[in-house]
Structure 1
Amino acid sequence: MPTTRRGFLGATLALAMNGWRPAAAAGTRVTLERLQPGVYVARAGNAEVARANAAEVVPTLVHLSGAGVLVVDPGPQAAWGGALLGAIRALTPQPVRWVVNTHAHPENVLANAAFARLRPRPVFLASAATAALMRQRCAACLARMATLLGSGTMRGAAIVLPEPALQPDGWLHTGATAWQVQVYANAHSASDTVLYAPRLQLLCAGGLAYRERVPEMHEASLQGWRRALRRLQELPARTVVGTAAGTPAQTLAPTLAYLDALAHGIGAALAAGSDASRANDAVAAVPFRHWRHFQSRHPLNVQRAWRELEDLWMQGEPLA
């Protein structure tokens, strides 16, 4: 795809200001969609990671605070990060001051490397749990991504670890905007960080909120995820940025409805004495059959949820 004049000027400005040319591969392009004044989201594929999409599936949040730029979940590889930086520079000369990693999945964090070369260098932030998980996992995740996507796609990749500075129920201040920090253990992942800006009524939910795509539950806790979403629904947010952007009714509510369908169907089946061989039949999944990756992802989610709820049921724990 040819580079637009706007994209060329943005990349040129980035080079002049930072002394570094983004390592964007040919054809890599990032489009920033305006959500509200000063708030943008990078358009990304609402899909699972695959070679065909180069793992460019994370809708990075970009906030122009006036005191600098906040970037949340910068993406999967250096080429995407470089193109994202070019798109930011086309909007503003403000320096990127904060890069937040909401959780330790490679498609969210491996583009840290593109921003680590900036001068002045932004501060990289995460919860203590996410920072620890990245320290444990990132080398293996980088190797897996190189195998899946190809060494060319992952050219320039490097591990940049965040500071474990985001505290549960604390605040992140980006100029005039204050972000409430919430951290959920054992929800969509082992640790999920959420940022909420009351002044903007903007919720950055990371991997907790999906939109018309079946949630990925490989390391999820069904019950923990449901609890997290119920708490997030109490916030007076107008806009949610998760694995896709939208309103709470488009993201939080349907994600919770899907997880509730798993819990209610499997719970009733367990109470009736059914077994895991009939787990798929127990879940009322018709409302979600049009979601992306239903055929491949939903059966795996049912089996994962069954194992979790069966253990709880045998311990006498409530499943509602």
Structure 2
Amino acid sequence: MDRRRRRALLALALAPAVLAACASAAAGPAPRALAEGVWWVAGSGGAAAPANAGRIGNSGFVVGPAGVVALDTGTSYAHGRALIAAIRATTERPLALALITHVRPEALFGATAFREAGVPVAMHRQAARLMRSRCDGCLAQLRQTLGDAAMAGSAVIAPDHEFDGPTTLHQAGRPLELLHDGHASGPGDVALWDPARRVLFAGGLVENRRVPAIDDADLPGWQRALASLAALQPRVVVPAHGPAAGPEAIAATSAYLAALDERARALVADGTSLIDVPEAAALPAYAGWDEYEVIHRRNASIAFLRAERALLFGEAAR
């Protein structure tokens, strides 16, 4: 048997397993109840890859007497479809709104499935502006990383509703508080607070044992937002990535950002060269966090440049 034929037969033999793995990744994990009517759908963490179909971030939904509010729609149309199916398997109440809390691919591109299902999509006006400015490029990169089949049907869509600040959502039939304290982890990043259940969907404002990315962040604003979230004294916090946790996830995110800022300022004061920063800015206490080797190294360079600019121009480091 020649080599080409052996390869063809091997591919045929493996195809069912590969397809099953892809189908499992697209179907996604089962929702987990956090409180009465409050559900979390876990992401895998890590970086988007074919093995996880890009399902790295958390999603969730809140069921009220009048309907369902979904949060963060997944990386693809397929993820959005899976989230809709999970909601419909959990409750017969109608889907009333899909809320995108922050501008990361794992929150955005499943919105096409909600649009197809006639569910309005909402996000902050500043987040929508950021999405329009760059997310076509994000989508193209995901097609390269995950493949055209995994991203089929995915698109950048304009939200049906844009809001400018904190507000109260009534679509579920009980009040849910939409929180926005200004530019923090990114422009227009928001959190959803269920005061009756004391559950906080923190969106991109909080990570759990994952290094938070500061590319779009205003660090002082982020710290102010985290202080506001901590003051709520939530019982459960759903972060952008990582398991649902208690308020300690808020404190840990804040502590990392403070340590990063302090280290960057120290390196600037020491006259460190930018090329040496990723190594010199190591924070061993966080080395076990998800994506430390990638995101922390990038964060270090960004924080260093911002601290350097602040020193040169007499500005506050952002």
TM-score w.r.t. the length of structure 2 is: 0.84
State the match for 1:117 in structure 2.
116
Distance 2:182 2:144 in 1: 29
Matched with 2:251 is: 253
Structure 2 residue matching 1:104: 3-state secondary structure: coil
Q: Which residue of 2 aligns with 1:229?
A: 226
Q: Secondary structure at the match of 2:62?
A: strand
- In the alignment, does 2:189 pair up with 1:192? yes
Give the number of the structure whose residues are more often helix, by fraction. 2
Does 310-319 or 286-295 show the bigger shift? 310-319
TM-aligned CA deviation for residue 80 of structure 1: 1.4
Q: How many residues align?
A: 293
Distance 2:173 2:95 in 1: 16
* Conserved? CA contact 2:77–2:113, under 8 Å: yes
**Which of 123, 148, 152 in structure 1 is aligned with 2:149?**
152
> Which of 213, 232, 236 does residue 210 from structure 2 map onto?
213
% identical aligned pairs: 31
Work out the CA distance in 1 between the residues paired with 2:312 and 2:196.
Answer: 45
Deviates more, 1:281-290 or 1:74-83: 281-290
Tell me how far apart the structure 1 counterparts of residues 107 and 179 of structure 2 sit (CA, whole Å).
Answer: 18
Task: Name the counterpart of 1:288.
Answer: 286
**Alignment match of 1:29 (pick from 17, 27, 30):** 27
1:54 to 1:281, Cα distance in 2 relative to 1, 3 A: closer
Over 3 Å counting, the alpha-carbon distance change for 1:268 and 1:123 in structure 2 is same
- The answer as to whether partners of 1:204 and 1:242 remain within 8 angstroms in 2 is yes
Q: Please show how residues 161-176 of structure 1 align to structure 2 within 5 Å.
A: 161-176=158-173
- Give yes or no for contact 1:261–1:283 (8 Å, CA) kept in 2: no
Change in 2 beyond 3 A, CA 1:81/1:164? closer
The letter for the 1-side match of 2:178 is V
Alpha-carbon distance in 2 for matches of 1:305, 1:82: 38
Q: Is the contact made by 1:101 and 1:162 (CA closer than 8 Å) also made in structure 2?
A: no
- Name which of structure 1's ranges 177-186 and 192-201 shifts more when overlaid on structure 2: 177-186
Q: What aligned pairs does 1:104-143 form with structure 2 within 5 A after superposition?
A: 104-118=103-117, 121-143=118-140
CA contact 2:96–2:172 (8 Å) conserved in 1: no
SS in 1 for 2:96: strand
TM-score by length of 1: 0.83
1:161 alignment partner, SS class: coil
Match of 2:306 in 1: 308
Shift of 1:124: 1.1
Q: Which residue of 2 aligns with 1:51?
A: 50
Compare 45-54 and 258-267 and name the one that shifted more. 45-54
* AA partner of residue 231 (structure 2): E
Name the counterpart of 1:9. Answer: none
- In structure 1, the partner of 2:76 is 77
Unpaired runs of at least 5, structure 1 = 1-24
Give the letter aligned to residue 254 of structure 1. Answer: A
CA-based RMSD:
2.3
Q: Deviations over 1:13-48 (max 9, x none)?
A: xxxxxxxxxxxx622223101111110111211222
Letter in 2 for 1:88: I
> CA separation of 1:290/1:129 partners in 2, compared to 1, >3 Å: closer, same or farther?
same
Does the aligned pair in 2 maintain the 1:131–1:164 contact within 8 Å? Answer: no
Aligned to 1:177, the other structure's residue is in SS state: coil
Deviates more, 1:77-86 or 1:283-292: 283-292
Q: Which amino acid aligns with 2:300?
A: V
* 2:48–2:146 Cα contact (<8 Å) kept: no
- Once the two structures are TM-superposed, the CA of residue 72 in structure 1 deviates from its matched residue by 0.7
Question: Contact (CA 8 Å) 2:186, 2:216: kept in 1 or not?
Answer: yes
For 2:164, the aligned partner's letter is Q
Q: How far off is 1:60 after superposition?
A: 0.6
Q: Which residue is equivalent to 1:202?
A: 199
Change (3 A) 1:95 1:317: same
Q: Displacement, 1:133?
A: 2.4
Counterpart of 1:240, as a letter, is V
Residue 130 to residue 63, structure 1, CA distance change in 2 (3 Å): same
